[in-house]
Amino acid sequence: KAGVTQTPRYLIKTRGQQVTLSCSPISGHRSVSWYQQTPGQGLQFLFEYFSETQRNKGNFPGRFSGRQFSNSRSEMNVSTLELGDSALYLCASSRDREGSPLHFGNGTRLTVT
Amino acid sequence: KQEVTQIPAALSVPEGENLVLNCSFTDSAIYNLQWFRQDPGKGLTSLLLIQSSQREQTSGRLNASLDKSSGRSTLYIAASQPGDSATYLCAVLNAGGTSYGKLTFGQGTILTVHP
């Protein structure tokens, strides 16, 4: 069974540009969550999607957005990139039941120059 | 607001030693607690999940305990091996909502097991 797949693995962008990251969940998982990981702040929750609807959102500016498609695949977008957006962005999927663990992808490493 | 703390921040042990990683959380109203492992440059691998009604979970050489009332969990690793070297993260899922994907993470414990 394939795990959570994130593409691309690495991205280098310039300040002011925008970027789109993609996540394919494990087959049968309908919940997808996104996290940002930085050395200073650790792992922080960005947002969660279920059945194409955003169910929860973390404390991030509106430049961070996402969506989920009918096949549960998800994308997140960051507009007007800032240097501080450099981070490892992790996607996780689950069966969306109490007691179901989150399964993480290997992440997308975004570097903003 | 839930806060999760992990102690120690880093740990270096010789191969074969048994060790304990600690995790504490401020709000005891949780659905579950998960322990993850992260290798450098990689994503998180789920090790153990303990439901709020459970006291412990075991998988191979790993044993995790949960004392919800005191806001504490421990991860016990028996007979450590160099391959156990990684960052270990503890995360809680708060109760009271319908969202199962919003975890609050600790800062992690960097474990090094030397031969």
Give the H or E element holding residue B31: strand B30-38
Banded model confidence at residue B41, pLDDT cuts 50, 70, 90: confident
Select from A30, A93, A102 the residue whose CB has the most chain B CBs within 10 Å, as the one to mutate to test that interface. Answer: A102
Closest Cα partner for A46 from A16, A7, A85, A72?
Answer: A85
- CB-count exposure of residue A32 (10 Å: 0-12, 13-18, 19+): buried
Residue A11 has pLDDT above 90, yes or no: yes
CB proximity list for B54: less than 8 A, separation 6 or greater: B66
* Contact (CB, 8 A) for B38 and B105: no
* Contact (CB, 8 A) for A96 and A29: yes
Residue with tokens 């959570």: A4
Average confidence (pLDDT) over B111-115? 96
* Contact (CB, 8 A) for B4 and B91: yes
**CB contacts < 8 Å between A and B, how many?**
70
Q: Which of A42, A43, A102 sits opposite B101 (nearest CB)?
A: A102
Three-state DSSP class for residue A6: strand
| CA–CA gap between residue B104 and residue B94 (Å, rounded) | 8
Whether residues A101 and B34 touch (CB distance < 8 A) is answered with: yes
Nearest CA in chain A to B98: A55
Select from A4, A30, A34, A35 the residue whose CB has the most chain B CBs within 10 Å, as the one to mutate to test that interface. Answer: A35
Give the pLDDT confidence of B86-98 residue by residue, as tens digits: 999 999 999 877 7
Whether residues A56 and B102 touch (CB distance < 8 A) is answered with: yes
Give chain B's length: 115
Closest-CA distance of chain A to residue B41, Å: 8
* Contact (CB, 8 A) for B21 and B109: yes
Whether residues B32 and A99 touch (CB distance < 8 A) is answered with: yes
Give the pLDDT confidence of A49-73 residue by residue, as tens digits: 999 999 999 999 999 999 999 999 9
Please give the residue that has the higher pLDDT: either B108 or A99. Answer: B108
* Contact (CB, 8 A) for A67 and A49: yes
Contacting A residues, span 31-90, partner chain B, CB-CB under 8 Å: 31-33, 42-45, 48, 50, 55-56, 58, 90
| CA–CA gap between residue B112 and residue B88 (Å, rounded) | 11
* Contact (CB, 8 A) for B45 and B20: no
Tell me, yes or no, if B112 comes closer than 8 A to chain A by beta carbon: no
Whether residues B104 and A45 touch (CB distance < 8 A) is answered with: yes
Give the pLDDT confidence of B62-72 residue by residue, as tens digits: 999 999 999 99
Three-state DSSP class for residue A17: coil
Average confidence (pLDDT) over A15-43? 96
Whether residues A106 and B100 touch (CB distance < 8 A) is answered with: no
Give per-residue burial for B40-75: e unless 16+ CB within 10 Å, then b: eebbbebbbbbbbeeeebeeeebbbbbebeebebbb
